[in-house]
Amino acid sequence: MSLLIINIKSLLQVRENTPGFLSGDEMKTLPSIENAFLKIENDTITNYGKMEDLSDTNADEIIDAKGKFVLPAWVDSHTHIVYAGNREQEFVDRINGLSYEEIFERGGGILNSAKKLQETPEEELYKQSKKRLDNVVRMGTGAIEIKSGYGLTTDAELKMLRVIKRLKADYPGMIKSTFLGAHAFPLEYRENHQGYIDLLCNEMIPAIAEENLADFVDAFLETGYFSVEETERVMQAGKKYGLKAKIHVNQFTAIDGIESCVKNDALSVDHLEIVTDADIEVLKGSKTMPVALPTCSFFITIPYTPARKIIDAGLPLAIASDYNPGTTPSGNMNLVVATACIKLRMTPEEAINAATINGAYAMDLLSTHGSITKGKKANVMITEKLNSFYEIPYNFGDMLIEQVIINGKRI
Ligand code: NIG
Ligand code: FE
């Protein structure tokens, strides 16, 4: 099966070779080809170039993209889309004055979702999650990381991870799964942290590794959740089984968590609404990708990640949706890109780099996703007719993506 897209007004994010992640000033440019073609064979990008250089017009299908932009599909490196039910009451409670932390203290928040998930059969959980996944794919997400962490018992965590495994089989190549058993201490372990960490490290992680259910390990490193030492035990137990760490950190407070993540070779540190100068220093020269989640800040009214401080210090930055029932019930990456521009003061070029190449790095998918590169997966989006790609974030809340192609297939 071959597909040829012709007359593309501008083909964005074209990289002959992927340079690794993009940091600092490298994020300012988005290499493009005007009046371009793109050739796809089966699930792979096989050629691209200027229309005047197109010699072989043989293809099973030809799409005329006159006036339209083509760019790689979004890479959403941080989500929790497998969950049961919603938390719309907490949404209203926050409007009426309660904070996210106060709701958690009352037994709501993550524990509320855990209770719902424990009571939901696997098949129903799969159905609810697949609906969300289909929805975000339609909006241009071509690769997605999905976390567990609403189970908090061995059985319920395994149930979540098996749902992710089924989704992986249904959406080949585009999903990575992360074990987030260390999301919150279950009530029965509130006074016995050691007991829960033992359960995570000695029972859950080995069982998950045995069934090959996770690619990464995560923890909520935060005041009132998991301490630096507790998170280190989880990262180290994961490492024993080949699971790289991607850690929730610095959402509300800075407690030297980033330093510990860098020391433990974390692939990414996510949230970073609070960032100190010391945090910036430890990230410099490391292989750990900072990840901002701007629509989370928008939804629960907390500070926005200081993207300018991070990028202007010469660091890389990825952006992701954090799609989850508590802090971000949306996986719309177009809105994430717009919010990054509007609230994090990232330029459209920086935001698109953050949501494609740098997102791919944060999922360990840089060799296959995140840019228009020969040999990479044919995961691309075609916009409607636009004057400039700046209109994508400018028209925030709108869907200017007309056609999504995943693994060479139209969605
Ligand atoms: O990334 N902060 C920790 N975890 C999720 C939210 C969890 C929830 O409230 O359900 C997040 O924002
Ligand atoms: Fe999250």
Distance CA 316, CA 23 (A): 4
* Known binding-site positions: 78, 80, 87, 150, 183, 248, 251, 322, 324, 326-327
Q: Where are the domains of the chain?
A: 2-72+370-410, 74-362
Q: What is the ipTM of this complex?
A: 0.98
Neighbours of 378 (CB within 10 A): 23
| β-bridge partners, 328 | 324
Q: Is 325 in the pocket of ligand 1 (CB under 6 A)?
A: yes
**Tens digits of residue pLDDT in 233-267:** 999 999 999 999 999 999 999 999 999 999 999 99
Q: Around ion ligand 2, which residues have CB less than 5 A away? A: 322
Q: Is 324 in the pocket of ligand 1 (CB under 6 A)?
A: yes
Domain 74-362, CATH: 3.20.20.140
Sign of CA dihedral 301, 324, 173, 6: negative
Nearest ligand 1 atom to the CA of 104 is: 9
Q: How many whole angstroms from 184 Cα to the centroid of ligand 1?
A: 10
Distance CA 406, CA 411 (A): 7
In 3-state terms, the chain is what percent helix, strand and coil (to 5)? 40, 25, 40
pTM recorded for the entire structure: 0.98
Query: According to the model, what pLDDT value does residue 19 have?
Result: 75
Query: According to the model, what pLDDT value does residue 79 have?
Result: 98
The CATH class that applies to domain 2-72+370-410 reads: mainly beta
Q: Which residue ranges of the chain lie beneath pLDDT 50?
A: none
Joined tokens for residue 318: 């990825």
Sign of CA dihedral 5, 10, 12, 14: positive
* Known binding-site positions for N-formimidoyl-L-glutamate: 150, 324, 326
* Burial state string for 313-327 with b = 16 or more CB within 10 A and e = fewer than 16: bebbbbbbbbbbbbb
Q: How many whole angstroms from 103 Cα to the centroid of ligand 1?
A: 12
User: Do residues 194 and 163 make contact, with C-beta atoms less than 8 angstroms apart?
Assistant: no
Q: What Å distances lie between residue 279 and 126, 151, 269, 368, CA to CA?
A: 38, 31, 11, 30
Q: How many whole angstroms from 4 Cα to the centroid of ligand 1?
A: 41
**Tens digits of residue pLDDT in 161-207:** 999 999 999 998 799 999 999 999 999 999 999 999 999 999 999 99
Query: According to the model, what pLDDT value does residue 72 have?
Result: 98
Joined tokens for residue 11: 């083909």
> Tokens 């201490």 label which residue?
185
Distance CA 369, CA 210 (A): 28
Q: Whose CA is nearest to atom 9 of ligand 1?
A: 326
Query: According to the model, what pLDDT value does residue 107 have?
Result: 83
Q: Is 110 in the pocket of ligand 1 (CB under 6 A)?
A: yes
Q: What Å distances lie between residue 245 and 222, 242, 269, 310, CA to CA?
A: 15, 10, 9, 21
Q: Is 322 in the pocket of ligand 1 (CB under 6 A)?
A: yes
Query: According to the model, what pLDDT value does residue 178 have?
Result: 98
Mutate to test the pocket of ligand 1, among 98, 160, 248 (most ligand atoms within 8 A of CB): 248
The interaxial angle of helices 154-170 and 110-119, nearest 10 deg, is 80
